[in-house]
Amino acid sequence: MSTRPRALELGVIGCHTCGLVCAAPSPANQAARCPRCGEVLHARRSDGVSRAWALLLAAMVFYIPANMLPVMYTDMLGHGSNSTICTGIIEFWKAGSYGIALVIFIASVAVPCAKFLILGMQLITARRHPRWARRERARLYRLVEIVGYWSMLDVLVVAIVAGLVKFKALADIEPRLGILFFGGVVILTMLAAMQFDPRLIWDGNET
Amino acid sequence: MKVFPNLVVCEHCDAVYRRPMLAPGESVRCEVCAASFHRAGRLNVDRWLALTVAATVVYVIANVCPLIRISFKGLHNEATLWQSVAALAHGSAALIAVPAALTVIVIPLLHMLLLGWVLLHARRGRRAPGFHIAMKLLVVLRPWSMLEVALIGILVSVIKLAGFLYVTPGVGLWAISVLTVLFTLIAGPDIRHLWDSTESAVRS
């Protein structure tokens, strides 16, 4: 473990907006603003954990209708059919487009599920401050921030095919309610990840 | 309030470092959490601004020209980015059109305009009118731009439709490919260095 000093111990705060290092207010619970950019300085956003829990649980609830309800309705020459996210992936797989099936599976199933697990684990460990695998947990959190928004892929695919296939009685594609819930999952998990303060991973029994 | 301009703090783990002198393109890798932070941009302000202007021009093309053309039983159709987003605004899922429009149309445009405004003044070492609010917005908006997801979405749609329709890529698809590259270049650098580089203008 590195013995590098931390801002909290030195009584300074790095401004999240402009990066300026400022003296922490005393007493510590007093509100202070960055003298350069005017942003509120937070030594830690500790209420972020509760907010992140609320957003994460809401996202998990949304994930159920997102998968159960159809995301798209396709009408081809009078034959209408609803498709869910799973049937969309299976269709690509059966048609032999394994690569595309894999891309959609990763964006729509693997990434959201990984986010639930990783964020849940971060939020549980944030309260206890174990020294276990800190570097790895920090890496996982950064991974969630980097790949999180790729789940929006399915929403945009539905938008594009629904925008294109508009041939009245011959062929028509329309969005369905499932896609709204799915978009909700993406936005809620992104907000949950933003509420979590990664500095909490490194707090508690330093040595 | 006391400030310490000679220090930098790792935003991921709170470790404190003496401010290093960085060559363009260099960054500090935190020895505690292994995240890279305090990145020095590869671009100087002039090049950064030039690329931002180029990105804005390409953005207009990407939004005006159709992304894909399709033919089906003698009928033709094409859709732009905006028409695609508008197609979501029907039926029970209509609300999803709002975040879709924000993430692929509104926020990328706002990002380019704010960045262009700030850089235009930063060329002369000055802070633009509204510098504070523009810089804050640029930090907040960054994670919500999803142009690269839109690009992959278009390509997936092409393959999805090619099974039963005749599909040809439109000018908009090429434009959005170029835009994705340009946007990654201009939105990538750490915007916070502009606070430091324009500091002298405020003091004098």
CB contact under 8 A, A160 and B31: no
pLDDT tens string A26-72: 776 677 899 988 888 888 887 889 999 999 999 999 999 999 999 99
Residue ranges for chain B with pLDDT beneath 50: none
Same domain, B49 and B103: yes
Residues 6+ positions from A46 with CB-CB distance below 8 Å: A197, A200
Number of domains in chain B: 2
Nearest to A158 by CA among B102, B100, B169, B77: B100
d(CA A19, CA B110): 23
**For B140, what's the count of Cα atoms within 13 Å in the CB-facing half-sphere?**
9
Other C-beta atoms lying within 10 Å of the C-beta of residue A6: 19
d(CA B155, CA B129): 40
* pLDDT score at A207: 44
Same domain, B120 and B187: yes
Same domain, B87 and B102: yes
Q: Assign residue B126 a region (left: φ > 0; alpha: ψ between -120 and 50; beta: otherwise).
A: beta
Same domain, B8 and B83: no
* pLDDT score at B21: 86
A168 neighbors A75 (Cβ within 8 angstroms): no
Same domain, B54 and B1: no
* pLDDT score at B204: 54
pLDDT above 90 coverage of chain A, percent: 57
Q: Chain A 3-32, CB below 8 Å of chain B: which residues?
A: 4-8, 10, 12-14, 16-23, 25, 32
d(CA B4, CA A191): 31
Query: For chain A, how far is it from start to end, CA to CA, in angstroms?
Result: 8
Question: In angstroms, what CA-CA distances link A202 with A122, A136, B99?
Answer: 12, 12, 34
Q: Which residues of B touch A165 (CB under 8 A)?
A: 70, 72, 77, 161, 165
Q: Which residues of B touch A25 (CB under 8 A)?
A: 1
Interface contact B57, partner A, CB < 8 A: no
CA distance B122 to chain A (A): 15
DSSP A35: T
Query: Mean pLDDT across chain A, nearest whole number?
Result: 89
Q: Which domain holds residue B139?
A: 43-203
Residues 6+ positions from B44 with CB-CB distance below 8 Å: B24
Same domain, B139 and B92: yes
Interface contact B55, partner A, CB < 8 A: no
Residue of B nearest to A69 (CA): B93
- Pick from A103, A174, A190: CB nearest B156: A103
Which CATH number applies to A44-202?
1.20.140
Same domain, B128 and B63: yes
Same domain, B5 and B67: no
Q: Is A147 exposed, middle or buried (0-12, 13-18, 19+ CB in 10 A)?
A: middle
Same domain, B72 and B144: yes
Interface contacts A/B by beta carbons within 8 Å: 222
Same domain, B113 and B158: yes
* pLDDT score at B63: 96
How confident is the model over A161-172, as a mean pLDDT?
87
* pLDDT score at A205: 61
* pLDDT score at A206: 53
Query: Mean pLDDT across chain B, nearest whole number?
Result: 91
d(CA B39, CA B55): 22
Interface contact A168, partner B, CB < 8 A: no
d(CA B121, CA B197): 11
Same domain, B134 and B184: yes
CB contact under 8 A, A198 and B5: no
CB contact under 8 A, A21 and B16: yes
* pLDDT score at A122: 93
d(CA A152, CA B9): 32
CB contact under 8 A, A17 and B136: yes
**Residue bearing the bigger pLDDT, A154 or B163:** A154
ipTM score assigned to the predicted complex: 0.90
Nearest to B158 by CA among B141, B177, B140, B142: B177
* pLDDT score at A2: 55
CB contact under 8 A, B33 and A202: yes
How confident is the model over A109-132, as a mean pLDDT?
91
For residue A152, give the 3-state DSSP assignment: helix
Same domain, B53 and B33: no
pLDDT tens string B127-171: 999 999 999 999 999 999 999 999 999 999 998 888 888 999 999
